[in-house]
Structure 1
């Protein structure tokens, strides 16, 4: 194995960077690492990238789940119903994609397209979460509900859909499922939300990793530098989290996810303006996100009876600071 190649060093560096982001914000994981691996190791198939990313995620998410379990933050009953729904679908998802075609190139194209769509979904869930928090603050909804009444069937369905998405693309174990939980249980406190999501994510990504490895194998040249970089990065990010403003990082993640999605959809054959114009289209997407998203957010605030800009800020909506201070 050539573990000291420029590709391996690039993967190690990307793993370290993504690990820091995950430790800082609790988001990023597969949504950032999967496209990074696809661009850093273009000779590798999308299936090999998904297998390596899921295996690495099972390792570093286990540490986060253990910390939250010791602190007593996860809602284990809620996590149980999510796991019951997600694990079987995570195991079946890769086989469902494999059944579509026996052609390796076509399978690679299907996976890249699926990952591109999953990245768009992950980016949109961040905006959805902010908007839900904004509505909750304005309506005076319940805050910090440590033990909400569990709704088994909807929770199981959320787990099943999340498991299918993760099993196919490795994206969604944090971002998509977390927003679905927020919609089902709007009073769930932030620490309970993160802790529950981490606990359910471990068996989910482990099941998805096992299924993908069984079908596609495991590329150690991808996995080893990814683990070497991501584990210390996650530890460092967790230690820096209290000192670093996370809202700017999370907004940057949304821009990167959207641009990565457009790039991967292009690799899968979606090039609305032709192959030559695709790089410019990706850059224009990033510029549009930076310019237009704050404007759209301002109009959403106006729809809730607030000025376009001001309190509650995005940083306040991401936590409970504003709600705790105002009682709203």
Structure 2
């Protein structure tokens, strides 16, 4: 059933995503766990399918605009798809035999949120630190590093639904400093679609997706993302990003401790 409160939460998250460009996983999943009391694995599974649907539209826009570097998408997928499948198998196995699965997911989510906050605040410093080392990398090493990044994101997103946005973009900016940012953004969004879809379907197979919640969130978030994107030029990113990063760090710390 549709719950107007969840739709309102989706609207709020959609506005923030439109304003800042940060993926909804880092915002939506903690809200579902801490504010609405959903089981962590249900929050993660539902948010993954939610992300795959919303980012499909973004991929279509970037694809039509020619701002997707499909070579990068393929490299990321070569790492993320098998890593996602393996992580889901481990989760399914652990869920049947151990009682600590919920704690593992909660801690993984908390660590991912703190890492996302650091990536948001220190992106330029991180890029500057690795700039000289990346210049010495051969194209083959860059390709392998991109595959490894995909694998890391596959594990992280499957466990927490967080990581494909701010973390993935930060590393891509380091590995491909000469590529236009809009092409990296488009590539990151395009890669997030199969990643979140596969992970979301895996969680669905484990019975950890609430479709009533999913529909309620989409009803609010889709118009929220549109409005937030239209108004983003009127709001200073220098104000929004530090506030959002601080919020993620606090929430991540609360989930861990």
TM-score by length of 2: 0.90
* Alignment pair present for 1:39 and 2:30: no
In structure 2, what is the equivalent of residue 236 of structure 1?
Answer: 227
In the TM superposition, residue 186 of structure 1 has moved relative to its aligned partner by 1.9
Give the deviation of 1:102 after TM superposition.
Answer: 2.9
Taking the aligned partners of 1:208 and 1:22, their CA distance within structure 2 comes to 21
- Per-residue deviation, 1:136: 9.2
CA distance, structure 2, for counterparts of residue 22 and residue 87 of structure 1: 25
Contact in 2 for aligned 1:79/1:200 (Cα 8 Å): yes
CA distance in 1, matches of 2:90, 2:128: 38
Determine the structure 2 residue equivalent to 1:212.
203
Structure 1 residue matching 2:206: 3-state secondary structure: helix
Pair member with larger Rg:
1
| Contact 2:121/2:242 (8 A) holds in 1 | no
Match of 1:303 in 2: none
Structure 1 residue runs of 4 or more that deviate by more than 4 Å after TM superposition: 133-137
Give the Cα–Cα distance (whole angstroms) in 2 for the partners of residues 88 and 123 of structure 1: 27
Q: Is the 8 A contact 1:98 1:107 kept in 2?
A: no
Q: Say which structure, 1 or 2, has more relative contact order (CA 8 Å, 6+ apart).
A: 2
Compared CA separation, residues 263 and 214, structure 1 to 2 (3 A): same
Q: How many residues align?
A: 253
- The residue aligned with 1:255 is 246
- Shift of the 37–103 alpha-carbon distance from structure 1 to 2, 3 Å rule, reads farther
Any unmatched runs of 5+ in structure 1?
143-147, 271-328
Could you say which structure has the higher helix fraction? 2
CA shift for structure 1 position 87: 1.8
How far apart, CA to CA, are the structure 1 residues paired with 2:108 and 2:90? 13
Q: What RMSD in Å do the two structures reach over aligned CA positions?
A: 2.3
| 2:5 corresponding residue in structure 1 | 10
TM-score normalised by structure 1 residue count: 0.71
